[in-house]
Amino acid sequence: AQSVTQPDIHITVSEGASLELRCNYSYGATPYLFWYVQSPGQGLQLLLKYFSGDTLVQGIKGFEAEFKRSQSSFNLRKPSVHWSDAAEYFCAVKPGSARQLTFGSGTQLTVLP
Amino acid sequence: EPEVTQTPSHQVTQMGQEVILRCVPISNHLYFYWYRQILGQKVEFLVSFYNNEISEKSEIFDDQFSVERPDGSNFTLKIRSTKLEDSAMYFCASSEAGGGADTQYFGPGTRLTVL
């Protein structure tokens, strides 16, 4: 069965600093990969997704993620963090044949002024 | 922009009572899902639904759970006899198609508290 690991439970960065959130997956083939964000009291909003092709994908709100097959990773990045980026971030995978998403445990991002 | 809506936002119930959580998926979507997130834990898949039947379900989705699309717009999750451990945030999602490349859009969730 597929699994997703987000090694960092909580990350704190200063506003304007760069950000990288880690995600590693375990699956026999290349799954479909997603990053979602959850702000307090809100649902899960899709930031970006990778299906195939260019391994660097651009998403909303200035986020990007890079798929590295050799490392089974799909890390999320942003060059300059804004205070409004404070939220919980979830990496998720879905094998090609399945409908269910498998989520990581999430990384809580705190942004300092 | 179309969105998934869920009602109520918070439901409090007594153990053993039945609850129905409601969702209105995005109108042209054909696949519907329920997930839950127990406080402090991962978001977990419960069930997917297509063409008026369950297409996938997890081990969590046992006989006390059921789903239904009672009309052309609503999608419901029923828990027949709630237990304390059913306390969680329940998310509804929908997608246009069910394939791997399809994106699931999530609602804001219903927080269920079982006393």
Q: What percent of chain B has pLDDT over 90?
A: 82
Which one of B44, B56, B107 has the shortest CB-CB distance to A43? B107
CB contact, 8 Å: B109 with chain A?
A: yes
DSSP state at residue A20: E
Predicted confidence at residue B100, as pLDDT, reads: 66
- Judged against a pLDDT cut of 90, whether residue B97 lies above it is answered with no
Rounded mean pLDDT, B26-44: 93
Residues of A numbered 17-46 whose beta carbons fall under 8 angstroms of chain B's beta carbons: which are they? 31-32, 34, 36, 41-46
Predicted confidence at residue B70, as pLDDT, reads: 87
Q: What would the two tokens of residue A102 be? A: 């498998």
What length does chain A have? 113
What three-state secondary structure class fits A37?
strand
Rounded mean pLDDT, B72-83: 94
Predicted confidence at residue B98, as pLDDT, reads: 66
Predicted confidence at residue B1, as pLDDT, reads: 74
Q: What percent of chain B has pLDDT over 70?
A: 97
In A, which residues are within 8 Å of B60 by CB distance?
A: none
Predicted confidence at residue A27, as pLDDT, reads: 80
Q: Could you tell me the pLDDT band of residue B99, with boundaries at 50, 70 and 90? A: low
- Distance (Å) from the alpha carbon of A92 to chain B's nearest alpha carbon: 10
* Higher pLDDT, residue B59 or A28: B59
Express each pLDDT in A42-101 by its tens digit. 789 999 999 888 899 999 999 999 999 999 999 999 999 999 999 999 999 987 777 889
CA distance A58 to B27: 27
- Of A26-30, B43-47, B74-78, which range is least confident? A26-30
In A, which residues are within 8 Å of B91 by CB distance?
A: 43-44
- Judged against a pLDDT cut of 70, whether residue A34 lies above it is answered with yes
Q: Testing the interface with A: which of B45, B47, B92, B102 to mutate, by most A Cβ within 10 A?
A: B45
Q: What would the two tokens of residue A91 be? A: 């990496």
Q: Could you tell me the pLDDT band of residue A22, with boundaries at 50, 70 and 90? A: very high
Predicted confidence at residue B23, as pLDDT, reads: 97
What three-state secondary structure class fits B67?
strand
What three-state secondary structure class fits A69?
helix
Asked if the Cβ–Cβ distance from B56 to A99 is below 8 Å, we say: yes
**Closest residue, chain A, to B57 (C-alpha):** A100
CB-based contacts of B1, cutoff 8 Å, min separation 6: none
CB contact, 8 Å: B98 with chain A?
A: yes
